[in-house]
């Protein structure tokens, strides 16, 4: 039985919730799967105060640490995580955004290397910005973005497009099921390698300013590594990344203090 966690950023059990339930049904056509539903409205995270403690001192110093820890443990132990949000003004809801904000420390110190994420959104039909934001967060946390499903208002669709919508559920459920079988961590491309190198440079430059980041890089012995986990990187990708990174580093040295030694 696959255990899937769904984090739902709608303030109500409406179309987004129904879309996730329909997706759970579609997943079960490919094998037993059970979804745990978390309504962010019932978690009721307080507003982030912007104290930066999670980034500079560690997750435990956040005023919502108990909730964040519980959510993070659930994310790490699921076979896959669905992040679901309706479209609000072309974007995610404030509830979903707040959830992402509480995990900002994972941009600095990624941990989700074995977690597969899938996005679901409901709305009029334009989902681009929702998935772009969700994906950039997930990948920055170290996770793998498996795919996404935008769900338009079913009742207003013509018979032809209802069929297409049903087919999409089936296709994407198959895609996520397949992805859950993959145990190997992905080989990073130029983009992810660049981000690795940039965060490494920032950790060195901010040694005194951000002790939590520096501790993560030194305790995990990452300063001399090519990536967060052992992986064979194609020589072409490595060379191109090296060139782009040197350009980025010389820019940082010109613009910001503290980058002379990195």
Ligand X SMILES: Cc1cc2nc3c(=O)[nH]c(=O)nc-3n(C[C@H](O)[C@H](O)[C@H](O)COP(=O)(O)O)c2cc1C
Kindly list the residues in this chain that would bind ligand X in the complex (CB under 6 A). Answer: 10, 12, 14-17, 86-90, 122-124, 126
Task: Report the residue number, 17 or 214, with the smaller CB distance to ligand X.
Answer: 17
Task: Report the residue number, 20 or 180, with the smaller CB distance to ligand X.
Answer: 20
CB of 29 to ligand X, least distance (A): 23
CB of 151 to ligand X, least distance (A): 8
CB of 140 to ligand X, least distance (A): 24
Q: Which residues contact 232 (CB under 8 A, 6 or more apart)?
A: 187
Nearest residue to ligand X, scored by beta-carbon proximity: 14
Task: Report the residue number, 22 or 108, with the smaller CB distance to ligand X.
Answer: 22
Task: Report the residue number, 72 or 93, with the smaller CB distance to ligand X.
Answer: 93
CB of 162 to ligand X, least distance (A): 16
CA separation, residue 86 to residues 9, 126, 149, 177 (Å): 7, 11, 12, 23
């Amino acid at each position: 039985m696959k255990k899937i966690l769904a984090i739902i950023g709608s303030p109500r059990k409406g179309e987004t919730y129904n879309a996730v339930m329909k997706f759970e049904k579609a997943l079960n056509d490919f094998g037993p799967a059970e979804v745990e539903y978390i309504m962010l409205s019932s978690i009721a995270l307080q507003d982030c105060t912007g104290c930066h403690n999670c980034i500079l001192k560690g997750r435990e110093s956040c005023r919502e640490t108990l909730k964040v820890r519980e959510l993070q443990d659930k994310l790490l132990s699921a076979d896959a995580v669905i992040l679901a949000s309706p479209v609000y003004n072309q974007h995610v809801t404030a509830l979903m955004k707040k959830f992402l904000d509480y995990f900002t420390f994972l941009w600095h110190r990624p941990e989700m290397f074995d977690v597969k994420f899938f996005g679901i959104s409901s709305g009029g039909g334009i989902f681009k910005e929702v998935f772009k934001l969700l994906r950039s967060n997930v990948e920055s946390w170290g996770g793998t973005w498996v795919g996404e499903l935008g769900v338009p208002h079913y009742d207003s669709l013509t018979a032809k497009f209802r069929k297409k919508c049903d087919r999409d559920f089936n296709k994407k459920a198959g895609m996520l099921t397949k992805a859950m079988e993959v145990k190997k961590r992905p080989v990073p491309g130029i983009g992810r390698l660049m981000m690795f190198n940039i965060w490494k440079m920032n950790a060195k430059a901010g040694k005194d300013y951000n002790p939590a980041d520096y501790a993560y890089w030194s305790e995990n012995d990452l300063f001399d590594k090519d990536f967060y986990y052992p992986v064979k990187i194609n020589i072409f990708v490595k060379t191109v990344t090296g060139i782009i990174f040197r350009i980025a580093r010389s820019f940082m040295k010109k613009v910001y203090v503290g980058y002379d030694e990195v």
